[in-house]
Structure 1
Amino acid sequence: MLSKSKVKQIRSLELKKFRNETNTFVAEGNKLVADMLPAFECDLLIAKPSWMATQGDIPAKELLEADDNDIRKASFLKNPQDVLAVFKRPAWSLEEADPQQQLILALDGIQDPGNLGTIIRLADWFGIEHIVCSQDTADAFSPKTVQATMGALVHVKVHYTDLPAYLQKQAEHQVPLYGTFLDGENIYTKELSETGIIIMGNEGNGIRPETEALVNEKLYIPNYPQERETSESLNVAIATAVVCAEFRRRG
């Protein structure tokens, strides 16, 4: 049986404050946890005996057998699976993210954990290894975001920084800074670089003015047909997919 204190410890990690204090995060689900075990240090793993029996040697500091009721008490999911784990948050260096050598995503105030998780998953699919976020972007290690990534955090490093200052530094090195705007150039006809930074903005307000001022390559995703009246904009995760797909199609 899982102790009340252990359940409380796990449940506290729903809040960013406690994730920061302990430098840990939660992942749930048979495949997600199995994918993350080789990549991240595991402080605690609770699982049904049937799941443990299929795993062999499990690299966790603390390993606890649990039944359905135990896992349900600790879980953040509506329909918990067989395993839940608490991992150490990795120490990723922003210095690794060199937009002069690779394509990087930058997120300016993305608020929805589901959108962020989907964007991380998209980055993984399109071979983008680094995402640079403004400090007010949703936390990549919140339970909802981690679940939405479907394990992509194993391959994609997410950094938080003063985004305008970071972009200003890159602009001084003539790095292409792409952003999507209604007055931008058609993405399907504009010349695109194989390296640089793609900036995606907040769900409701888009890219904020101080960030927009640094964008040197404005893009527009046209609707079809262009003369037809449509909804005002695309969901940011969908727009990210369209932009990344076009960059990779050219490359």
Structure 2
Amino acid sequence: MLSKNQLRQVKLLEQKKHRQQSGLFVAEGPKVVGDLLRCGFKPQTVFATAAYENPFGIDCIEVTPDELRKLSFLQHPQYVLATFCMPKTSEVTEPRGLCLALDGVQDPGNLGTIIRIADWFGIDTIYCSQDTADAWNPKVVQATMGSIARVNIIYTKLTDLLGQTSLPVYGTLLDGEDLYSKNLAEEGIIVMGNEGNGISAEVRQLVTERLLIPCYRKGDTAESLNVAIATAITCAEFRRRK
């Protein structure tokens, strides 16, 4: 039976300060929980209904579907919810290969989708500004659909990182060159900006290669692309060239 304290401890993990204090985050559903387990993440507590198949043979606290709904951050809970130990904060190292840098991305759904995009296109590291949404927010973790287990997320001061790197720094800007005709290197850092304001002025000064995703509709059209969609388009073109 689910206790009031267990319920309280899980619900507190919606708040960043409690995630930081406890060193724990929440993951839900067989897919997300399974990917984290396969990648070596350590569960602290696992709550599951009798319908959960438990392919990993982990110790579970059995709960009813109604109790799982009380625990869950989802509209439609999926058999299992687990709290996991957060990975140790990675040291900021010299960027290698193709990386992403997120400058003030605020929406948890966008961040989770971008992590999933990075996983799909084989991008191992995402550097995030300190004002980017917390990657261990339950909404972000869920939106990654397990990809957060395979992508290294590093929070740092982007101006320091970009100012010191020897790699080209790409940014999507309105005064950029057409993404589909510009020369693109195999290695580099792709900077994506805030949903409303784009790349900040400080970071924009450090962009060495300006890109533009061209619009093909003439006249009245959408003002901009969603940042996650723009990330997918940009990453796809880099990988297509490779």
TM-score by length of 2: 0.96
Q: 85-94 or 131-140, which moves further after superposition?
A: 85-94
RMSD of the TM alignment (CA)?
1.3
Alignment of 1:1-251 (within 5 A): 1-39=1-39, 40-51=41-52, 53-58=53-58, 63-95=60-92, 98-99=94-95, 101-170=96-165, 173=166, 175-225=167-217, 227-251=218-242
CA distance in 2, matches of 1:54, 1:133: 34
* Count of residues in correspondence between the two structures: 241
Contact 1:45/1:85 (<8 A) preserved: yes
Within 1, Cα distance between the matches of 2:73 and 2:86?
A: 18
Aligned-pair distance for 1:41?
A: 0.8
CA 1:76/1:240 → structure 2, altered by over 3 Å: closer, same or farther? same
Structure 1: how far apart are the matches of 2:4 and 2:84?
Answer: 20
Distance 1:157 1:56, change over 3 A: closer
Q: Structure 2 CA distance, aligned partners of 1:220 and 1:229?
A: 18
Tell whether the 8 Å contact from 2:89 to 2:154 is kept in structure 1 after alignment: yes
| Structure 1 position 93, deviation (Å) | 2.2
Contact 1:29 1:80 in 2 (8 A): yes
CA–CA separation in structure 2 for the residues paired with 1:55 and 1:184: 49
Identity across matched positions, percent: 54
Shift of 1:224: 0.5
Unaligned runs of 5+ in 1: none
User: By how many angstroms is 1:54 displaced?
Assistant: 4.1
- Deviation per residue, 1:178-217 (Å, 9 max, x gap): 0011100111000001001000000000000000010010
Is residue 92–residue 157 contact of structure 1 (8 Å, CA) maintained in 2? no
Give the SS at the match of 1:46: strand
Structure 1 segments (4+ residues) deviating >6 Å = none
Question: How far apart in 2 are the matches of 1:161 and 1:135?
Answer: 6
Structure 2: gaps spanning 5 or more residues:
none
